[in-house]
Amino acid sequence: MTKPKPAPLDDVSKAIIAELQEDGRRSYAAIGKAVGLSEAAVRQRVQRLVDSGVMQVVAVTDPLEMGFARQAMIGIKATGELEPIADALADLVEVDYVVITAGSFDVLAEVVCESDEHLLQVISSRIRTIPGVLSTETLVYLRLRKQTYAWGVR
């Protein structure tokens, strides 16, 4: 099911998002001072932005520090409808990112696993058994050079 497209953001909402992208722990009072609103007004706007799916406020962790020694992107070639395949992948606890693509692969899924053995089990016993999956190609991450969630507001 596709979410309805949120209403266009006004400049104040964009400024609030920019403040939170700079520091996700910034207080509503500090944000209010920066954007010209009261603390309560900022709190209400942030809640609306979260409720509408425009943004999330989450703690981003380092998988290695959390005990997950292996990350990989799995390229999946499939047949038939792609939505059910993407949904099945999204249901796997090890999968943190799923996209339907145009290109060499029909679907890409990022997995976070405890070990190489765990990764092998996820690919062999869970991903490749999803109806419609024809083949997979695993791109194992060796070193993370950049990861950002602050792509700005437009």
Whether residues 44 and 78 share a domain: the answer is: no
Whether residues 133 and 76 share a domain: the answer is: yes
Whether residues 15 and 47 share a domain: the answer is: yes
At 66 the pLDDT is 82
Tell me the CA distances in angstroms from 11 to 8, 35, 42, 153, 154, one per residue in order: 10, 9, 13, 10, 9
- Contact present, 110 and 95 (Cβ < 8 Å): yes
Whether residues 84 and 47 share a domain: the answer is: no
Tell me whether residue 108 is in a domain: yes
At 80 the pLDDT is 96
Find how far residue 90's CA is from the centre of its chain: 11
- In 3D, which of 115, 76, 105, 109 has the Cα closest to residue 91? 109
At 145 the pLDDT is 84
Tell me whether residue 79 is in a domain: yes
Placement of tokens 């939505």 in the chain: 83
What is the number of structural domains in the chain? 2
Tell me whether residue 119 is in a domain: yes
Across the chain, where does the E strand assignment appear? 70-78, 95-100, 107-113, 133-140
pLDDT in tens, 60-95: 777 778 888 899 999 999 999 999 999 999 999 999
- Contact present, 136 and 119 (Cβ < 8 Å): no
At 3 the pLDDT is 57
Tell me whether residue 146 is in a domain: no
- In 3D, which of 144, 65, 151, 67 has the Cα closest to residue 110? 144
Whether residues 46 and 90 share a domain: the answer is: no
Q: Show the tokens assigned to 126.
A: 């869970």
At 49 the pLDDT is 93
Whether residues 34 and 93 share a domain: the answer is: no
Do the bridges between strand 107-113 and strand 95-100 make them parallel or antiparallel, or are there none, so unpaired? antiparallel
Tell me whether residue 113 is in a domain: yes
At 5 the pLDDT is 64
Listed as ranges, residues in the chain with pLDDT below 70 are: 1-7, 150, 154
Q: What CATH number is associated with residue 40?
A: 1.10.10.10
Q: Classify residue 94 by its DSSP letter.
A: T
At 123 the pLDDT is 98
Please give the Cα distance from 153 to 69 (Å, whole number): 33
Query: Residue 127: which domain range?
Result: 70-140
